[in-house]
């Protein structure tokens, strides 16, 4: 280690961040938006906007209305599910397993054929009346970004999680080595020198990195913990071997409330679920029920499982109580007496997904995630700016930069400027793809990837300053006009959502306006050129000074 420990850490920081930086930018962007995936999903279903303004209803009353609806529409189903209204989800959601015909259920499977998956149906109800609301358009909504940030897309979920985990490990190495190599890290946080080329990019990188440094460490480490049994399965295999049922019950205690009891064929009415909910709420010190699951409804072996509302609970392990559906007898409780190892995992997972956070803390997480996006982006751009200085003489003589720098410049355009453009295109596709179109959610997602792919190809073909300006400006316009699009396509516009205090919808529109303004400001900055310095008198025999390359993103020869 000839150059010393700190210099070695600088090398490690640079390359561990650069090699996976474009995937990390996608992971940060998708994960950050997932903090408001419920609100995104609601905005993408304008048919439900008007129904969200109804007064809140008691959970027991909403559950009773949902059960009446399920008894009428899903009487033969082996399983009912009810998602009760909450502060983030104002409507009542029901779901049920569609019963298979007896012939299909008993039909033999060919050798190697996978078991047939059960089909599910769902309905959204008005919690005050129990009547179905206008059927919303099919869309993945915010769940698309949530799954994208750790499963990727158009590939096996296992492969996607391995790729994301590999990149997350590089991210953890980059963060730790960055802390080591920056000995003035906190002083640099309060320093920003605009229009200073490389120095400005470094200042921006340092500021956004230190601003949310605890968050960056937490979100990267806990992201690895959530999938630790995929990356390191040897302990699980050594202890549990093939006993997967015991493994799931001990490691994921929240799932212990489900019952696999087979129906007896003896009809029995379901006990009043409101009484069970009051009993559960009292046992949970006043915390309400968030979800009701009924297995074998209408049968003597019916089981009713009530799930505790997460509220401000840090751990992702969700408590539940299971009752006999015919007698109302308490059969068991789950998710309360948890082993320390499982509880530790639940807390770390809860920190990562942030469901415990109240609105202000959730916004703080969101801003920290945006800072992470800026940190990754400025790190990628900083490498390009530093590398371009090596070509100063060649650029002054009309030469070109090397292949590696041009490739990084091209990938930067497609990843940093193209991804926001694709995200905005996804929201626009939500309003323009026909509502009755088959495979509608897949079409919306295809529009996202088509927009991103076109942006990436354009960046590869012409990685110039003008391309940055074009893509940033287009993304800014698409985001900035989303509130107008919402109002014109049946949604609750800002003129209605703000007076009504419907912040779930107004917050999306205001955030889109802010992101649009930020992208347009970045496009304006990318379009600025450094003013030419006034010529200075030099001695006749002195050599002419070498021309300094522009301190932004345009490689030599681009746009000529």
Write down the pLDDT at residue 3: 66
pLDDT at residue 88 greater than cutoff 50: yes
Averaged pLDDT, 256-265 = 68
Strands 320-324 and 303-308: antiparallel
pLDDT at residue 35 greater than cutoff 80: yes
pLDDT at residue 112 greater than cutoff 80: no
Write down the pLDDT at residue 75: 86
Question: Which of 62-76, 188-202, 281-295, 429-443 is least confident?
Answer: 188-202
Question: Which of 255-259, 357-361, 431-435 is least confident?
Answer: 255-259
| pLDDT classification of 40: cutoffs 50, 70, 90 | very high
Q: Which of 151-160, 391-400, 524-533 has the highest mean pLDDT?
A: 151-160
Q: Which residue has the higher pLDDT, 556 or 249?
A: 249
pLDDT at residue 89 greater than cutoff 50: yes
What is the DSSP track for 349-414? HHHHH-TT--HHHHHHHHHHHHHHHHHHHHHHHHHHHHHHGGGHHHHHTT----HHHHHHHHHHII
Q: Give the containing element (helix H, strand E) for 293.
A: strand 289-295
What the chain holds in terms of domains, given with CATH numbers, is 5-39+145-227+357-527 (no CATH), 243-353 (3.10.450)
Write down the pLDDT at residue 152: 93
pLDDT at residue 546 greater than cutoff 50: no
Percentage of residues in the chain having pLDDT higher than 70: 85
Three-state SS for 93? strand
pLDDT at residue 259 greater than cutoff 60: no
Averaged pLDDT, 425-440 = 95
Torsion, Cα of 145, 151, 153, 156 (10° steps): -160
What is the DSSP track for 182-236? -TTHHHHHT---TT-THHHHHHHHHHHHHHTHHHHHHHHHHHHHHTHHHH--HHH
CA 349 to chain centre: 14
Write down the pLDDT at residue 531: 46
Percentage of residues in the chain having pLDDT higher than 90: 50
pLDDT at residue 45 greater than cutoff 90: yes
Closest Cα partner for 526 from 468, 478, 441? 468
Q: Which residue has the higher pLDDT, 400 or 116?
A: 400
Strands 79-83 and 289-295: antiparallel
Q: What per-residue string of b and e applies to 514-544 under the rule 16 or more CB within 10 Å gives b?
A: ebbebbbebbeebeeeeeeeeeeeeeeeeee
| pLDDT classification of 263: cutoffs 50, 70, 90 | confident
Tell me the per-residue pLDDT of 385-414, one tens digit each, with 9 for 90 and over: 888 877 776 767 667 778 888 899 999 999
Three-state SS string over 461-527 comes to HCCCHHHHHHHHHHHHHHHHCHHHHHHHCCCCCHHHHHHHCCHHHHHHHHHHHHHHHHHHHHHHHHH
Question: Which of 170-184, 330-344, 466-480 is least confident?
Answer: 330-344
Averaged pLDDT, 459-486 = 94
pLDDT at residue 55 greater than cutoff 80: no
pLDDT at residue 212 greater than cutoff 80: yes
pLDDT at residue 450 greater than cutoff 90: yes
Distance CA 244, CA 265 (A): 29
**pTM confidence score:** 0.86
Give the CA distances from residue 434 to residues 413, 440, 463, 487, in Å, rounded to whole numbers and listed in that order: 31, 8, 35, 17
Question: Which of 4-13, 229-238, 450-459 is least confident?
Answer: 4-13
pLDDT at residue 150 greater than cutoff 90: yes
| pLDDT classification of 332: cutoffs 50, 70, 90 | confident
Averaged pLDDT, 475-497 = 95
Write down the pLDDT at residue 103: 45
pLDDT at residue 532 greater than cutoff 50: no
For CA atoms 189, 190, 194, 199, give the dihedral sign. negative
Q: Is 292 exposed, middle or buried (0-12, 13-18, 19+ CB in 10 A)?
A: buried
Averaged pLDDT, 118-147 = 89
Write down the pLDDT at residue 199: 75
Write down the pLDDT at residue 254: 64
Write down the pLDDT at residue 256: 56
Q: Which residue has the higher pLDDT, 193 or 88?
A: 88
């Amino acid at each position: 280690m000839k150059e010393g420990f700190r210099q070695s850490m600088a090398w490690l920081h640079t390359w561990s961040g650069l090699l996976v930086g474009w995937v990390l930018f996608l992971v940060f962007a998708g994960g950050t938006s997932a903090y408001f995936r419920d609100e995104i999903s609601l905005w993408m279903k304008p048919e439900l906007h008007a129904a969200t303004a109804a007064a809140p209803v008691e959970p027991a009353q909403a559950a009773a209305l949902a059960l009446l609806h399920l008894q009428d529409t899903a009487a033969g189903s082996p399983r009912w599910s009810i998602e009760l209204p909450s502060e983030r989800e104002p409507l009542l959601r029901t779901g049920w397993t569609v019963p298979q015909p007896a012939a299909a259920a008993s039909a033999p499977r060919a050798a190697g054929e996978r078991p047939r998956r059960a089909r599910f149906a769902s309905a959204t109800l008005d919690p005050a009346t129990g009547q179905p609301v206008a059927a919303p358009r099919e869309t993945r909504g915010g769940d698309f970004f949530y799954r994208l940030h750790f499963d990727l897309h158009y590939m096996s979920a296992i492969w996607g999680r391995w790729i994301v985990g590999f990149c997350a490990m590089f991210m953890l190495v980059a963060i730790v080595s960055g802390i080591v190599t920056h000995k003035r890290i906190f002083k640099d946080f309060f320093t920003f020198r605009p229009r200073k080329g490389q120095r400005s990019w470094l200042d921006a990188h340092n500021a956004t990195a230190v601003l949310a440094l605890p968050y960056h460490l937490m979100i990267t480490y806990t992201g690895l913990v959530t999938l630790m049994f995929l990356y390191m399965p040897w302990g699980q295999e050594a202890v549990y071997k093939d006993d997967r049922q015991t493994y799931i019950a001990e490691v994921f205690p929240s799932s212990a409330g489900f019952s696999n009891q087979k129906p007896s064929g003896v009809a029995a009415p379901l006990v009043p679920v409101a009484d069970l909910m009051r009993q559960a709420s009292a046992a949970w010190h006043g915390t309400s029920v968030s979800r009701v699951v009924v297995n074998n409804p209408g049968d003597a072996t019916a089981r009713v499982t009530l799930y505790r509302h997460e509220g401000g609970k840090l751990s992702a392990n969700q408590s539940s109580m299971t009752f006999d559906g015919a007698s109302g007898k308490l059969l068991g409780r789950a998710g309360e007496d948890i082993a320390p190892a499982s509880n530790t995992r639940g807390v770390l997972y809860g920190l990562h997904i942030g469901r415990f956070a109240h609105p202000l803390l959730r916004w703080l997480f969101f801003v920290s995630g945006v800072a992470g996006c800026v940190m990754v982006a400025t790190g990628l751009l900083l490498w390009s700016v530093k590398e371009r200085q090596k070509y100063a003489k060649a650029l002054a003589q009309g030469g070109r930069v090397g292949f590696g720098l041009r490739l990084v410049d091209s990938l930067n355009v497609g990843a940093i400027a193209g991804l926001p453009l694709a995200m905005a295109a996804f929201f626009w596709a939500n309003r323009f793809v026909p509502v009755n179109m088959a495979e509608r959610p897949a079409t919306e997602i295809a529009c996202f990837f088509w927009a991103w792919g076109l942006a990436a190809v354009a960046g590869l073909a012409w990685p110039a300053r003008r391309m940055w300006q074009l893509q940033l400006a287009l993304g800014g316009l698409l985001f900035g006009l989303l509130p107008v699009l919402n109002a014109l396509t049946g949604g609750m516009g800002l003129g209605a959502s703000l007076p009504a205090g419907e912040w779930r919808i107004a917050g999306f529109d205001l955030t889109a306006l802010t992101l649009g303004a930020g992208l347009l400001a970045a496009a304006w900055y990318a379009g600025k050129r450094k003013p030419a310095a006034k010529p200075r008198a030099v001695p006749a025999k002195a050599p002419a000074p070498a021309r300094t390359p522009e301190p932004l993103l345009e490689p030599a020869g681009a746009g000529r």
